[in-house]
Amino acid sequence: MKVNMLALVVLLGIFGRVDATYFVNAGAVLSACESESVDKQNKCVSYLGGIADATSTWIDWGMMSQKFCQPDEVTLEQLRRIYIKYATEHPEDLHLTAAGVALNAFVEAFPCE
């Protein structure tokens, strides 16, 4: 539980204001990911890397089943590009949580065989 709360505090610090319904929406992360600003791109990859890392940890802890099979050598830049592609192709989802959209992107990009 402490790990989850720490991740939440970090993510809130990265993206600022908390919406009444969602912590960070997919559109805000897409905007950061597509930005020319290195600072905003760093926020994007930090968020996406955190989602991938937390998911891996929850799987290892038996808290969830494996939904995607990310290769060990995947880079944060690849996660950024995968997120941009998926979010751009699904504009109807930009109001949803960024974490959910990121996970959908990773499931599509890294199916388990």
CATH number (1.10.890, 1.10.3470, 3.40.1350, 3.40.50) of 2-109 reads 1.10.890
14 closest CA partner among 107, 100, 81, 98: 98
- pLDDT tens column, 13-68: 444 544 444 478 999 999 999 999 999 999 999 999 999 999 999 999 999 899 99
String of DSSP letters for the chain: -HHHHHHHHHHHHHH-PPPSS-SSBHHHHHHHHH-S-HHHHHHHHHHHHHHHHHHHHHHHTTSS-------TT--HHHHHHHHHHHHHH-GGGTTSBHHHHHHHHHHHHS---
Which tokens hold the place of 103?
A: 């996970």
Burial letters 54-70, b for 16+ CB under 10 A, else e: ebeeeeeeeeeeeebeb
Distance of CA 26 to CAs 62, 80, 112, Å?
A: 27, 13, 24
Residue-range domain boundaries for the chain? 2-109
The pTM assigned to this predicted structure is 0.79
- pLDDT tens column, 67-96: 999 999 999 999 999 999 999 999 999 999
